[in-house]
Amino acid sequence: MSAVGAIVFPLARSYAAHAGIEIADDRLRADLEGRLAGAGNLSRGLFVGAALFVRAAAPVLFLGKPLGFSALSSDDREELLRRLQCARSPLLRGLYLGIKPLLTGLCYTPEFLKRAAEARV
Amino acid sequence: MSEKVDFVVIGSGAGGSAAAARLCEGGASVLLAEKGSPASTSNDALRAIGKYYTNEGLSAAMGNCLLPIPTGEVLGGTTRINSGTCLKTPKDLLRRWEAVEGFRADGFEPHLDEAWRRLKVKPVPEETQSRSTKLFFKGLDSLGISGGHALERGEDGCVGSSRCCFICPRDAKMSAEKAYLAPLLGKPGFEVACETELVSLAPGKNPRVTLRSESGTREVECKAVVLACGTLRTPYFLRRFGLGRAPAGDALSVHPATKVFALFDEKVESDKGVPQAGGLLDPDEPRIRYEGIHMPLELAAMSMPFEGRELRRWMDVHERIATFGFMIRDESRGSVRYPVGPRLPWLSYRLQDGDLARMTRAMRFLGKVFFAAGARKVVLPLNRPGSVFETAAQLQKADLSDVRAADLQMMAFHPLGTCGMGRVVDGNLKAADGVYVADGSVVPESLGVNPQITIYAFALRLAEHLLGVPA
Ligand SMILES: Cc1cc2nc3c(=O)[nH]c(=O)nc-3n(C[C@H](O)[C@H](O)[C@H](O)COP(=O)(O)OP(=O)(O)OC[C@H]3O[C@@H](n4cnc5c(N)ncnc54)[C@H](O)[C@@H]3O)c2cc1C
Ligand code: SF4
**Selection from B413, B364, B310, B400 nearest residue B54 by Cα:** B413
Torsion angle, alpha carbons of B466, B76, B336, A99, to 10: 180
For residue A66, what pLDDT is reported?
93
**DSSP strand pairing (B224-227 vs B435-437):** parallel
**SS3 assignment, position B258:** strand
**CA count, 13 A, side-chain hemisphere, B427:** 14
Alpha-carbon separation of residue A113 from B132, B297, B468 (angstroms)? 18, 8, 57
Alpha-carbon separation of residue A21 from A77, B137, B308 (angstroms)? 15, 36, 11
User: Do B440 and B89 touch, CB atoms closer than 8 A?
Assistant: no
φ, ψ at B202 (rounded to 5°): -120, 110
Helix axis angle, A74-86 relative to B308-316, nearest 10°?
Answer: 80
For residue B286, what pLDDT is reported?
97
Burial class (CB in 10 A: 0-12, 13-18, 19+), A11: buried
Q: How is residue B248 annotated by DSSP?
A: S
Is residue B170 within 6 Å of ligand 2 at its C-beta? yes
Report DSSP letters for A14-28, one per residue. Answer: HHHHHTT----HHHH
The rounded distance, in Å, linking the Cα atoms of A117 and B267 is 9
Domain count within chain A: 1
pLDDT band at A120 (very low <50, low <70, confident <90, very high): low
Q: Is the Cβ of A19 closer than 8 Å to some Cβ of chain B?
A: yes
pLDDT at A71 over 60: yes
CB contact under 8 A, B66 and A93: yes
Alpha carbon B73 to its chain's center:
13
ipTM: 0.93
Name the CATH topology of B124-154+253-332+352-407: Cholesterol Oxidase; domain 2 (3.30.410)
CB contact under 8 A, B406 and A101: no
Taking CA atoms only, the protein residue closest to ligand 2 atom 3 is B158
SS3 of B116-137: HHHCCEEECCHHHECHHHHHHH
Alpha-carbon separation of residue A30 from A49, B135, B290, B468 (angstroms)? 21, 39, 41, 59
The rounded distance, in Å, linking the Cα atoms of A104 and A12 is 9
**SS3 assignment, position A13:** helix
Name every residue whose Cβ is closer than 8 Å to that of residue B210 and which is 6 or more positions away in sequence: B198, B199, B200, B201, B217, B218, B219
The domain of A11 spans 3-119
Element at B257 (helix H, strand E) = strand B256-263
CB contact under 8 A, A113 and B306: no
Select from B306, B311, B316 the Cβ nearest to the Cβ of A116: B316
Q: Which residues of B356-377 are buried (b: 16+ CB within 10 A; e: fewer)?
A: bebbbbbbbbbbbbbbbbebeb
Task: Give the ligand at the shortest distance from the Cα of B165.
Answer: 1
B130 alpha carbon to ligand 2 midpoint, in Å? 11
Name the CATH topology of B3-120+165-249+416-467: FAD/NAD(P)-binding domain (3.50.50)
Q: How is residue B416 annotated by DSSP?
A: B
Which positions of chain B have pLDDT values less than 50? none
User: Which residues of chain A does B63 touch, with a Cβ-Cβ cutoff of 8 Å?
Assistant: 90
CB contact under 8 A, A84 and B46: no
User: Do B438 and B107 touch, CB atoms closer than 8 A?
Assistant: no
The rounded distance, in Å, linking the Cα atoms of B383 and A96 is 13
Q: Is the Cβ of B313 closer than 8 Å to some Cβ of chain A?
A: no
Q: How is residue B89 annotated by DSSP?
A: P
Chain B residue closest in CA terms to A84: B307
Select from B56, B267, B297 the Cβ nearest to the Cβ of A113: B297
- Beta bridge partner(s), residue A33: none
User: Which residues of chain B does A116 touch, with a Cβ-Cβ cutoff of 8 Å?
Assistant: 315-319
The rounded distance, in Å, linking the Cα atoms of B108 and B94 is 8
Q: What is the pLDDT of residues B85-105, one digit of tens each?
A: 999 999 999 999 999 999 999
User: Which residues of chain B does A88 touch, with a Cβ-Cβ cutoff of 8 Å?
Assistant: 404, 406-407
Q: What are the sequence ranges of the domains in chain B?
A: 3-120+165-249+416-467, 124-154+253-332+352-407
User: Do B439 and B16 touch, CB atoms closer than 8 A?
Assistant: yes
Q: Is the Cβ of A121 closer than 8 Å to some Cβ of chain B?
A: no
User: Which residues of chain A does B404 touch, with a Cβ-Cβ cutoff of 8 Å?
Assistant: 88
Report DSSP letters for A45-73, one per residue. Answer: HHHHHHHHIIIIIHHHHHH---S-GGGS-
The shortest C-alpha distance from B421 to chain A (Å) reads: 31
CB contact under 8 A, A46 and B316: no
> Number of residue pairs across A and B with CB atoms under 8 Å?
107
SS3 of B145-191: CCCCEECEEEECCCCCCCCHHHCCCCCCECCHHHHHHHHHCCCCCEE
B158 alpha carbon to ligand 2 midpoint, in Å? 5
For residue B471, what pLDDT is reported?
60
User: Do B283 and B145 touch, CB atoms closer than 8 A?
Assistant: yes
Name every residue whose Cβ is closer than 8 Å to that of residue B418 and which is 6 or more positions away in sequence: B231, B232, B234, B235, B248, B249, B250, B251, B252, B335, B336, B424, B441
